[in-house]
Structure 1
Amino acid sequence: MPKTLTLPALPEDVRGLAAGDEVLLRGRIVTGREAAHRYLATHDDPQVRRWTEGAVLYHCGPVVARAPGGGWRFVAAGPSASGRQEPWEAEVIARYGLRGVLGKGGMGPRTLEALRAHGAVYLHAAGGLAVSLARHVTRVLDVARLDALGVTEAIWLAEVDDFPAVVTMDAHGETLHAPGAEAPETTPAPG
């Protein structure tokens, strides 16, 4: 039976999760891939900080469309490979008060240590289900850095309901990912 994780979450909510737990996310998530991580790791953005405290950062470059009546909607929202964010993730978790990271493929030892230190988890979302996962995004609330980063790399704030995931790295330092299985670390590009 999946556990429900309501966002924004408190550290104790997340510390109650263990590697292997199935979860359904409810509340706000923020998207961000490599370009967003490079920016967030080197900048203190007050707008994004308001969004991220207690939230989950989703490694996703959503396909978006204009919603009827204005605003945006996610058409497809599949996970990106998380290992590409490893050079910046620990700093982003610490700087922005995240309670979770969502993606696919797992992450490396620096992120695992940051999850433990800051009371956060890594959540794995099933790849290949981008349209189905987008149905769990009930509302797009805002977007940051759209002009600077473009639609796919922008930082989106959205609400989700019953978004399915599995905890594969927990706040106690446990991981379901084999050592060395994560994507190789890369040298961060200049911010």
Structure 2
Amino acid sequence: MSREIQLPLTEQVAVELRAGDEVELTGAVLTGRDQACARLFQMITEQGELPVALAGQLIYFVGPSPARPGQVIGSAGPTTSGRMNPFLPAFLARELRGFIGKGYLGAAVKEALVAHRGVYFGAIGGTGALLSGCIESAQVVAFPELVSEAIHLLRLRRFPAVVLCDSHGGDLYARASQPTGSADGTGADS
């Protein structure tokens, strides 16, 4: 059964979540992909002011396609999170609460999730048309010249996701790749 999570994600709720938990996210998130994340990172390293506040927010790694007439947004499926690895520890240090994407994260990012009590949510790749139905509004809030890679503010309603990495070091991908066959999960037969 999924747990409905109201956004912004509080630290208290973040630490309650565990890798493997199924959730439905409702509330506001920012979007970001390669170019937008690189620009934010550059601004952080240059001690510049950011065009959006990261504290307490989630970033959804998505570059939505244009909306058709009558739609809020076009297809909005997750992009591979690993491409953002170089930037994420700095974002988490700025109190970003976490992100939504797909795929593996680097060790430094997983360590930063623990240190800053963040969460990595996974959305299913290839379901962008379905996921766009969980987006109630979309507004460009920074870097409009990047078009689909601009930073958007999205309002989600019951957006389905799973916790891939939690604030305690839990990693669903690592757990899923462990050998099975023992009661303690080590893979060793008793």
Counterparts of 1:83 and 1:177 in 2: how far apart (Å)?
A: 13
What's the CA shift for 1:106? 2.4
Measured at CA, do residues 86 and 67 of structure 1 come closer, stay the same or move farther in structure 2, by a change above 3 Å? same
What's the CA shift for 1:99? 1.4
Among candidates 53, 56, 59, match of residue 55 of structure 2? 53
User: Are positions 1:173 and 2:172 aligned together?
Assistant: no
Aligned residues: 172
What's the CA shift for 1:53? 2.5
Match of 2:88 in 1: 89
Match of 1:123 in 2: 121
How high is the TM-score relative to the length of structure 1? 0.83
Secondary structure, aligned partner of 2:84? helix
Match of 2:186 in 1: none
Select the structure that is richer in strand: 1
1:26-69: CA deviations, max 9, x gaps? 101111111111111121444311xx33221111011133776x
* Aligned residue runs from structure 1 range 81-160, under 5 A: 81-95=80-94, 97-147=95-145, 150-160=146-156
Give 4+ residue runs of structure 1 displaced > 4 Å after superposition: none
Amino acid at match of 2:110: L
Counterparts of 1:32 and 1:98 in 2: how far apart (Å)?
A: 13
Match of 1:73 in 2: 72
Measured at CA, do residues 140 and 164 of structure 1 come closer, stay the same or move farther in structure 2, by a change above 3 Å? same
Match of 2:20 in 1: 20
CA contact (8 A) 2:68 2:74 kept: no
CA contact (8 A) 2:40 2:50 kept: no
CA contact (8 A) 2:19 2:166 kept: yes
* Aligned residue runs from structure 1 range 31-50, under 5 A: 31-43=31-43, 44-49=48-53
Secondary structure, aligned partner of 2:29? strand
Secondary structure, aligned partner of 1:158? strand
What's the CA shift for 1:15? 0.4
Q: Which has the larger radius of gyration?
A: 2
1:133-171: CA deviations, max 9, x gaps? 011010113331012xx2121111110000000001001
Among candidates 63, 66, 84, match of residue 64 of structure 1? 66
CA contact (8 A) 1:101 1:122 kept: yes
Counterparts of 1:98 and 1:36 in 2: how far apart (Å)?
A: 15
Counterparts of 2:170 and 2:59 in 1: how far apart (Å)?
A: 20
User: Are positions 1:161 and 2:163 aligned together?
Assistant: no
% same residue:
39
Aligned Cα root-mean-square deviation (Å): 1.9
Gaps in structure 2 of 5+ consecutive residues: 178-190
Counterparts of 1:2 and 1:153 in 2: how far apart (Å)?
A: 30
Amino acid at match of 2:164: T
Match of 1:188 in 2: none
